[in-house]
Structure 1
Amino acid sequence: MAIREILEAPDPRLKTISKPVETFDAGLRTLVDDMFETMYAAHGIGLAAIQVGEPIRLLVIDLQEEDPDAEPVECEHDGHKHTHPAIKNDPRVFVNPEILDPSEDMGTYQEGCLSVPEIYADVERPARCRVRWQDLEGKSHEEEMTGMMAVCIQHEMDHLNGILFIDHLSRLKRGMALKKLKKMREAA
């Protein structure tokens, strides 16, 4: 497993429309492992493959948080030992996901994004949606998503279509967010 670089706005690759996954092999599993490691290292809850430069319809989500009462976890890979905070994991992998039936009732959540670091804004999305996807073996699944999972899956699926959460904001708010991001980069 490896931690990959996360693309940040306004990188034009984030506007790429991702292609369907056609090959379910060891390379796909390695990418998924890298994506989880990258997401956890960045303290995120979701990551689309395009965010690590891979324009395929793949995303990973884990809504669970660090467990402050558990001992840190030590692991070794690439010849190095690492200590990670203990996490109550519920890792989910979605290959070629599709939203089938978004609800008409809407919900507003404050969203952030690993590709737009330190920027948060309220985004309105359908409160529920039915999602169809494939797992790492290519088997199809379907599930009704609600709450934070519905928000997260819609946010990540936007990435697969070249859309960032700030694209849901007014032009003024989006411009302010990008200006803030640019100032933070210049200060770093």
Structure 2
Amino acid sequence: MPARPLVLFPDSRLSLPAAPTDAFGPDLKAVVDDVSDTLMAASAIGLTAPHIGISERVMVIRLSPDEDLRLYVNPEILWASPDTETHDEGSVSMPGVRERITRPARIRFGFRDLDGSTHQEEAEGFFAAVVQHEIDQLDGVFWIDRLSRLKRDRLLKRFEKLKSASSL
């Protein structure tokens, strides 16, 4: 399937929680294909169904170009370590800006696969940050919501400057 258009900030759909998926069949496979194709076309690390305007709890992650895609349906964080790490984050829905975000360094999360089977996985470091970032998106928490008000305001000003410069 071809890549779908991305939902861009400040679209309000990026702030809505995605609905859990309970139908595991061809419709879910089509959503997964669309998210996967769009992730590849955008050269993204992670992408959720809400990024392409579909309110379903589906995320696809590919940490590097030589890695296979990882698919997660209805992911949820089950445990998070008290220790934290800080990583640069950004979003394909808000291109051109990045900021440092602090999150738990290690997590355990549950999810379902395309067949509906339940799984758990542990993640640490950058992988943990990516999973948390994408689950936030599925929960309706856009990544800049994790910033202090001052950092968020500065980032929004930078983003507006980039948008106005690119539309000249």
**TM-score range normalised by the length of the shorter chain:** over 0.9
Q: Aligned pair 1:179/2:157, yes or no?
A: yes
**Cα deviations by residue, 1:19-66 (Å, 9 ceiling, x for unpaired):** 10011111211111111111111111100111111111110001122x
Q: Aligned pair 1:139/2:117, yes or no?
A: yes
Identical pairs, percent: 42
Q: Partners of 1:182 and 1:25 in 2: how far apart?
A: 41
CA RMSD of aligned residues (A): 1.1
Match of 1:92 among 49, 70, 92: 70
Question: What is the aligned residue count?
Answer: 166
Q: Partners of 1:178 and 1:163 in 2: how far apart?
A: 16
Q: Partners of 1:172 and 1:36 in 2: how far apart?
A: 34
Aligned to 1:125: 103
Q: Partners of 1:176 and 1:7 in 2: how far apart?
A: 22
Q: Partners of 1:159 and 1:168 in 2: how far apart?
A: 11
Aligned to 2:19: 19
Q: Partners of 1:42 and 1:166 in 2: how far apart?
A: 20
Structure 2 segments unaligned to the other structure (5+ residues): none
Cα offset for 1:89?
2.9
Task: State the TM-score, normalized to the length of structure 2.
Answer: 0.95
Aligned to 2:45: 45
Q: Partners of 1:35 and 1:89 in 2: how far apart?
A: 16
Aligned to 2:140: 162
Structure 1 segments unaligned to the other structure (5+ residues): 66-87
Computing the radius of gyration from Cα coordinates, the structure with the larger value is: 1
Cα offset for 1:179?
2.2
**Cα deviations by residue, 1:156-183 (Å, 9 ceiling, x for unpaired):** 0000111111111111211222222222
Aligned to 2:87: 109
Q: Aligned pair 1:28/2:6, yes or no?
A: no
SS of the equivalent of 2:158 reads helix
Q: Partners of 2:157 and 2:3 in 1: how far apart?
A: 28
1:7 aligned partner, one-letter code: V
**Cα deviations by residue, 1:63-85 (Å, 9 ceiling, x for unpaired):** 122xxxxxxxxxxxxxxxxxxxx
SS of the equivalent of 1:98 reads strand
Q: Partners of 2:99 and 2:151 in 1: how far apart?
A: 9
Cα offset for 1:121?
0.6
Q: Partners of 1:43 and 1:122 in 2: how far apart?
A: 20
Q: Partners of 2:134 and 2:162 in 1: how far apart?
A: 24
**Cα deviations by residue, 1:116-159 (Å, 9 ceiling, x for unpaired):** 11111110000000011000000001111112211100000000
Q: Partners of 1:105 and 1:115 in 2: how far apart?
A: 29
Runs of 4+ in structure 1 off by over 3 angstroms are none
